[in-house]
């Protein structure tokens, strides 16, 4: 059934269709409609789940962890400062190997207060052991939520599904909402490998001496490595069932491209328009969309950029003292490989400043006109 | 004389608590009362160590170690998850220290009991951050030495009234207990088990290294805490009905309790007098609440 819905409701429908059993959440702009709709689903019996209305995001993640430890399919949603408050528990969730799914609406961190989109909140959580998916459209949001449960329950690591504040969260788009029976066939009920079970007196999370700690972390990393292939498999399987395929990255008009834009989230949609326009003018410009950020899809990025001369990375985030985070990751992915395109590291659109087709045209022009990036960070549209 | 406490042990010997620690004694009684169909949630505290390192466990029920401030939130999630799987009769018990309860975990505890989550929250209160080496918490009593309230500057504030905070949430059941009154302890845990909603048990838990007391005296100190009325045994139903469970036969002066603990050794006679006056005043307030609740007050 096709409906015109906002990105936040795409999350809610995804969670409903995934038959989550426990939801624990705390409201934060711009995530609120996700939890409002879910609480209505629960109250009206449209979703057979317990909704725990906690007093903070820290407790939201802790209760989600508790429910997952008890063997239930558990999820939450947050944004920005809420995600930052969860930080400690994000480590606990991943280290406990719990297949939790969380939507995070990308919102800039204060101060000063901002409710508008930026990726620094989620990217700052990159070392917590969570998978991170960045979504381009509301359809992709819904589809990724459903896939996320399947991937998480295969590799036993939690997954963050990320969408832009307002640009997706509050923007209405036509979305195909699959029927429950088809989703059920794609995503069977969750069966925990280990769980809190009376009569089976295991202890979880106890003191881990140096004798054992490192092996636990080694296994997490191995699971992360495995997750790249699992993401591709689940994305392909999803395509067979629902007619929409997904992968770790998407190459758009990359054949013979000499300049490649690297984007994620809704900036990708804007960039598609510009790439189409430039292609009609005969310019060899392509687009690499990053869908999966953690684990970082090294092989897919290396393969996709093998023919590029110049790569323009569009970062709506910043690691202070370093630069755009995707640019740094792409550089590290290409180091030691056979092919070394020039990386142009752009930072744009922080704190929700609009990134327009003209912004992307300017990024491409800069890249075309310069033999070298010239700067460690190429600031776009900043008032100096 | 019949022995009313279950003989079955759900704690293993060989836990790693210090000699004379009140906390494993309390856990032993609690698990006897609760039985096997129980899940224990332990936020960071001495019990994170007492339970034993991976891959060991000191208890014969499922145990979830968790973050310091998540005693309320984690238990709420565990309960919801078990119920989602159809395990509606399993008791979820959070077992937290005073730091995890009075201080860093107060927010999530308050929220969980405000929602009347169906679980038992036990605070084993050794009146300071003992696992990190005896730093003051808001449960540390007035005048006590800790490593962050040195003898020249002992704690200047009274102990936070956690029972009153819990009563203010109007939860179904709130009670104090000590290992010196085992039948009372076990009766309260059983009672809590059979009530739906949030239950809070405040257990005074002597800590020989932190209190600078003899390990052999922990039960004696627990008994003196009740007899001196420093730590009365009482329960509160629905936040309003107060019942005093143990009436000390005679008025034992607080010196007898304080004198067994090196953490009070620096106190001057006038300090002890101040403590005595505070204890007497709090006791009178408690008796007045019990009387107002309809309890018959002995002479």
**Residue A343 DSSP SS3:** strand
Question: pTM value?
Answer: 0.98
B288/B293 Cα distance (integer angstroms) = 9
Q: What is the pLDDT of residue B249?
A: 86
How far, rounded to the nearest angstrom, does the alpha carbon of residue B174 sit from its chain's CA centroid?
11
The H helix count followed by the E strand count for chain A is 12, 16
Average pLDDT, chain B: 97
How many Cβ atoms sit within 10 Å of the Cβ of residue A56? 17
In this structure, are residues A175 and A139 in contact, taking their beta carbons and an 8 Å threshold?
yes
Q: Which residues numbered 79-108 in A keep a CB inside 8 Å of some CB on B?
A: 88-89, 92
Nearest to B67 among A50, A72, A88 (CB): A88
Assigned token pair, A59: 């407790």
Whether the predicted pLDDT of B8 surpasses 60: yes
Question: Which residues in chain B are closer than 8 Å to A64, comparing Cβ atoms?
Answer: 77
Whether the predicted pLDDT of B200 surpasses 80: yes
Q: How many CB pairs under 8 A join A and B?
A: 177
Provide the β-strand partners of residue B198.
Answer: B119
Average pLDDT, chain A: 97
Q: How far is A356 from chain B (nearest CA, A)?
A: 43
| Contact criterion met (CB < 8 Å) for B36 and A54 | no
In this structure, are residues B227 and B248 in contact, taking their beta carbons and an 8 Å threshold?
yes
Q: What is the pLDDT of residue B4?
A: 87
Q: What CATH number has the domain spanning B22-292? A: 3.40.50.970
End-to-end CA distance of chain B: 28
A182/A176 Cα distance (integer angstroms) = 13
Q: Which domains does chain A have, with CATH numbers?
A: 2-242 (3.40.50.970), 249-379 (3.40.50.920)
Tens digit of each residue's pLDDT (9 = 90 or more) over A33-85: 999 999 999 999 999 999 999 999 999 999 999 999 999 999 999 999 999 99
Buried-exposed string B141-161: b where 16+ CB fall within 10 A, e elsewhere:
bebbbbeebeeeebbeeebbe
How far, rounded to the nearest angstrom, does the alpha carbon of residue B112 sit from its chain's CA centroid?
18
Q: How far is A152 from chain B (nearest CA, A)?
A: 17
In DSSP notation, B71-98 reads: HHHHHHHHHHHHHHTT--S-EEEEEEEH
Q: What mean pLDDT is predicted for residues A80-102?
A: 98
A326/A321 Cα distance (integer angstroms) = 15
Question: Domain-by-domain residue ranges, chain B?
Answer: 22-292
A147/A18 Cα distance (integer angstroms) = 9
Q: What is the pLDDT of residue A337?
A: 84
B271/B265 Cα distance (integer angstroms) = 11
B223/B69 Cα distance (integer angstroms) = 30
- Residue B2 backbone dihedrals phi, psi, to 5 degrees: -85, 145
In this structure, are residues A48 and A16 in contact, taking their beta carbons and an 8 Å threshold?
no
Q: What mean pLDDT is predicted for residues B13-34?
A: 96
Whether the predicted pLDDT of B97 surpasses 70: yes
**ipTM score here?**
0.97
Whether the predicted pLDDT of A336 surpasses 90: no
Q: What is the pLDDT of residue B299?
A: 78
Tens digit of each residue's pLDDT (9 = 90 or more) over A114-161: 999 999 999 999 999 999 999 999 999 999 999 999 999 999 999 999
Tens digit of each residue's pLDDT (9 = 90 or more) over B118-142: 999 999 999 999 999 999 999 999 9
| Contact criterion met (CB < 8 Å) for B85 and A212 | no
Whether the predicted pLDDT of B1 surpasses 90: no
Say which residue, A119 or A336, is predicted with more confidence: A119
Whether the predicted pLDDT of A338 surpasses 90: no
User: Where residue B250 falls among pLDDT bands split at 50, 70, 90?
Assistant: confident
Picking from B36, B78, B92, the residue whose alpha carbon sits closest to that of residue B59 is: B36
Q: Which residues numbered 46-65 in A keep a CB inside 8 Å of some CB on B?
A: 49-50, 52-56, 58-60, 62-65
In DSSP notation, A159-187 reads: EEEEEETTTTTT-EEEEE---HHHHHHHS
Q: How far is A134 from chain B (nearest CA, A)?
A: 27
Q: pLDDT exceeding 70 applies to what percent of chain A?
A: 100
Q: What mean pLDDT is predicted for residues A218-232?
A: 98
Interchain CB contact of A203 with B (< 8 Å): yes
Whether the predicted pLDDT of A181 surpasses 90: yes
User: Where residue A273 falls among pLDDT bands split at 50, 70, 90?
Assistant: very high
User: Where residue B2 falls among pLDDT bands split at 50, 70, 90?
Assistant: low
User: Where residue B231 falls among pLDDT bands split at 50, 70, 90?
Assistant: very high
Whether the predicted pLDDT of B240 surpasses 60: yes
Question: Tokens 């003051």 belong to which residue?
Answer: B136
Question: Which residues in chain B are closer than 8 Å to A49, comparing Cβ atoms?
Answer: 84
Say which residue, A281 or B13, is predicted with more confidence: A281
């Amino acid at each position: 059934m096709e409906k015109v819905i906002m990105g936040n409701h795409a999350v809610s429908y995804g969670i409903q269709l995934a038959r989550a059993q426990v939801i624990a959440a705390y409201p934060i702009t711009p995530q609120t409609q996700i939890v409002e709709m879910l609480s209505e689903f629960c109250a009206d019996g449209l979703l057979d789940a317990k909704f725990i209305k906690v007093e903070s995001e820290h407790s939201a993640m802790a209760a989600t962890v508790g429910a997952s430890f008890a063997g239930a399919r558990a999820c939450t949603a947050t944004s920005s400062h809420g995600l930052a408050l969860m930080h400690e528990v994000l480590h606990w969730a991943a280290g406990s190997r719990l297949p939790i799914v969380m939507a995070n609406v990308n919102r800039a961190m204060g101060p000063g207060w901002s409710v508008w989109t930026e990726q620094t909140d989620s990217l700052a959580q990159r070392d917590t052991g969570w998978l991170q998916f960045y979504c381009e459209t509301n359809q992709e949001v819904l589809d990724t939520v459903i896939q996320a449960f399947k991937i998480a329950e295969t590799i036993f690591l939690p997954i963050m599904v990320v969408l832009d504040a307002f640009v997706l969260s509050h923007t209405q788009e036509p979305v195909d909402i699959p029927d429950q029976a088809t989703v059920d066939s794609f995503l069977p009920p969750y069966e925990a490998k280990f769980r809190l079970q009376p009569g089976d007196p295991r202890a979880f999370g106890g003191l881990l001496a140096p004798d054992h700690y490192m092996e636990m972390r080694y296994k997490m990393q191995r699971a992360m490595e495995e997750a790249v292939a699992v993401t591709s498999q689940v994305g392909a399987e999803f395509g067979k069932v629902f007619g929409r395929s997904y992968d770790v990255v998407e190459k758009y008009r990359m054949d013979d491209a000499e300049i490649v834009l690297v984007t994620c989230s809704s900036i990708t949609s804007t960039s598609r328009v510009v790439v189409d326009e430039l292609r009609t003018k005969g310019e060899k410009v392509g687009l690499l969309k990053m869908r999966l950020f953690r684990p970082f899809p090294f092989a897919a990025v290396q393969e996709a950029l093998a023919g590029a001369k110049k790569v323009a990375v569009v970062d709506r985030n910043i690691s202070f003292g370093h630069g755009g985070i995707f640019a740094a990751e792409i550089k590290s992915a290409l180091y030691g490989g056979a092919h070394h395109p020039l990386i142009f590291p752009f930072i744009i659109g922080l704190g929700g400043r609009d990134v327009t087709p003209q912004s992307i045209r300017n990024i491409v022009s800069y890249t075309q006109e310069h033999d070298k990036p010239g700067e460690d960070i190429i600031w776009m549209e900043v008032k100096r | 004389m019949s022995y009313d406490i279950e003989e079955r042990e759900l704690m293993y010997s060989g836990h790693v608590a210090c000699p004379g620690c009140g906390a494993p004694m309390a856990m032993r009684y609690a698990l006897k009362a609760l039985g096997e169909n129980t899940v224990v949630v332990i936020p960071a505290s001495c019990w994170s160590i007492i339970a034993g390192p991976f891959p060991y466990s000191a208890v014969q029920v499922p145990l979830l170690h968790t973050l310091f401030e998540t005693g309320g939130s984690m238990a709420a999630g565990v309960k919801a998850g078990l119920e989602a799987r159809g395990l509606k009769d399993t008791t979820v018990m959070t077992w937290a220290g005073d730091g995890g309860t009075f201080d860093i975990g107060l927010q999530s505890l308050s929220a969980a009991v405000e929602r009347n989550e169906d679980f038992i929250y036990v605070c084993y209160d050794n009146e300071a951050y003992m696992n990190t080496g005896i730093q003051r918490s808001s449960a540390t009593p007035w005048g006590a030495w800790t490593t962050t309230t040195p003898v020249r500057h002992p704690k200047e504030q009274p102990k936070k009234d956690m029972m009153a905070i819990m009563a203010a949430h109007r939860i179904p059941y709130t009670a104090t207990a000590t290992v010196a009154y085992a039948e009372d302890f076990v009766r309260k845990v059983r009672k809590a088990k059979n009530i739906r909603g949030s239950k809070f048990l405040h257990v005074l838990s002597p800590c020989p290294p932190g209190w600078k007391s003899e390990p052999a005296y922990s039960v004696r100190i627990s008994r003196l805490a009740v007899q001196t009325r420093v730590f009365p045994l009482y329960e509160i139903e629905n936040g309003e009905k107060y019942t005093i469970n143990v009436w000390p036969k005679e008025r034992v002066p607080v010196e007898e309790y304080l004198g067994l603990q090196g953490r009070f050794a620096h106190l001057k006679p006038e300090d002890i007098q101040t403590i005595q006056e505070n204890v007497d005043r709090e006791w009178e307030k408690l008796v007045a609440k019990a009387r107002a609740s309809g309890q018959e007050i002995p002479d």
